[in-house]
Chains A and B, each alone.
Chain A
Amino acid sequence: MSAAELWYALPLIVSVSLVYAATRYELMEFIIAHAIRTAVWLGGFMLIVTLVLWGLSAWLT
Chain B
Amino acid sequence: MAKENDEIVVNLRDPFIAGILAWLLPGAGHWYQHRRAKAVIFFVCIFGTFMYGMFLGEGRVVYAQWEGPEFRRYPFICQVAVGLPSLPAVVLAWSGGESFFGTRWYVPPTIIGGKSPELDDLHLRLNRRFELGTVFTMIAGLLNVLAIYDAVCGPAYSVTRRSKKEGDDAAPTNSDGAEGDSPEKQPANA
Contacts and interface: CB of A to CB of B under 8 A. Distances in A.
Interface of A: 1, 5, 8, 11-12, 14-16, 18-20, 22-31
Which 6 residue pairs of A and B lie closest in terms of their CB atoms, listed nearest first?
A15-B45, A23-B150, A19-B143, A23-B146, A15-B49, A26-B155
Given A15-B46, A23-B150, A26-B175, A8 B132 contact: yes
Contacts of B1: 29
Interface of B: 1-2, 4, 8, 10, 35, 37-38, 41-42, 45-46, 48-49, 52, 128, 132, 136, 139-140, 143, 146-147, 149-150, 154-159, 173, 175-177
Contacts of A23: 146-147, 149-150, 155-156
Contact of A12 (B2, B139, B154): B139
A30 to B, nearest CB: 6
The secondary-structure label for the interface of chain B is helix
Nearest to B173: A26
5 contacts: A1-B128, A19-B41, A19-B143, A23-B149, A27-B2
Nearest to A8: B132
A12 B158 CA distance: 27
Contacts of A20: 143, 146
Contacts of A18: 41, 45
A26 B8 contact: yes
A5 B177 CA distance: 39
Contacts of B46: 15, 19
